[in-house]
Amino acid sequence: MNKAVFIDKDGTLIHDVPYNVKPELITLSEGAIPSLLRLKELGYLLIVISNQSGVAHGYFEEEALEAVKKQLGVLLGDAGIDGFYYCPHHPEGTIDIYSVACDCRKPQPGMILKAAKDFNIDLPASWMIGDILADSEAGNRAGCKTILIDNGNETEWDMEGQRRPTFIVKNLEEASKLILDYTWQEH
């Protein structure tokens, strides 16, 4: 089986520009490339897991996310991602076909579980990194270890039950070093 690091996109992998699908506005978080290369060297697949409720709210078409995925590939180069999963739903959306409560919108684990099936991933050997507790909850529900990047994006500090991350760090670079240290300790 494979192991993976699931990574939230907005606010974690890239700087958060709300509801952005313009490739020219996408910029990587500081240290993203060396951090992802470090994880790849450890044998982890890198898979983006992202809520994209802008589709459900009618801010952009679902097809616009292809340009986002392509731009991430350009920016990341050799540190590129292996998978890109997104949830276009929101229960209060304005576009009927996307206005649903689903099992893929974080904090639900649906995107992680689908990626695990698609890539034959050992979830207990894998990690979820994100900048809000919904990311941690999704990873915990899927059976991964979780890392919260405390960069100021979380506004509801309720860490009850499944919302409590395994670790809290300041940035993506600290997260990748933590995974490196943890991986070496396991061997």
- Give the full edge-to-edge strand order of the sheet including 167-169: 83-87, 44-51, 3-7, 127-130, 145-149, 167-169
| 103 is an active site residue | no
Which one, of 8, 12, 33, 9, lies nearest residue 171 by Cα? 12
| Residue of 8, 16, 96, 150 with catalytic role | 8
- Please, what is the end-to-end C-alpha distance for the chain in angstroms? 17
Strands 145-149 and 167-169: parallel
Cα–Cα distance measured from residue 77 to residue 121, given in angstroms and rounded to the nearest whole number: 23
In terms of C-beta density within 10 A (0-12 exposed, 13-18 middle, 19 or more buried), how is residue 55 classed? buried
| Residue of 10, 82, 96, 150 with catalytic role | 10
| 10 is an active site residue | yes
For residue 84, the one-letter residue type is F
Catalytic center residues: 8, 10
